[in-house]
C-alpha cells in the first residue's frame, strides 16, 4: 500500500470505520475524533495512513482488512 494511488482507497476505508459517530457514548469517542482528524490531515500520504490504520486497530479495537 505504498503507492499514492492506494491512498484514496485507504482514506475512504479509514474515514468510515474511524468516524467518531461510530463511538458515541463510549470511552473511545475522543480517540476516534483524534484519529479521524489525523486521517483527514494526511489523506494523500499513504505511509501516514498505514500508521493511522495500525493505531486505529490497536486503540479503537477495530478490524480493517
31-44: pLDDT as tens digits? 999 999 999 999 99
**Averaged pLDDT for residues 2-11:** 75
Q: Which long-range contacts (CB under 8 A, 24 or more apart) does 41-49 make?
A: 43/7, 43/8, 43/11, 43/15, 44/4, 44/7, 44/11, 45/7, 46/1, 46/2, 46/3, 46/4, 46/6, 46/7, 46/10, 47/2, 49/1, 49/7, 49/10, 49/11, 49/14
Rounded Cα–Cα distance for residues 4 and 20 (Å): 26
pTM: 0.87
Amino acid at each position: 500500500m505504498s503507492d499514492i494511488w492506494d491512498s484514496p482507497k485507504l482514506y475512504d476505508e479509514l474515514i468510515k470505520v474511524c468516524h467518531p459517530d461510530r463511538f458515541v457514548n463510549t470511552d473511545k469517542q475522543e480517540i476516534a475524533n483524534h484519529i479521524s482528524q489525523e486521517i483527514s490531515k494526511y489523506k494523500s500520504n499513504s505511509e501516514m495512513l498505514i500508521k493511522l490504520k495500525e493505531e486505529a486497530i490497536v486503540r479503537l479495537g477495530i478490524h480493517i482488512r
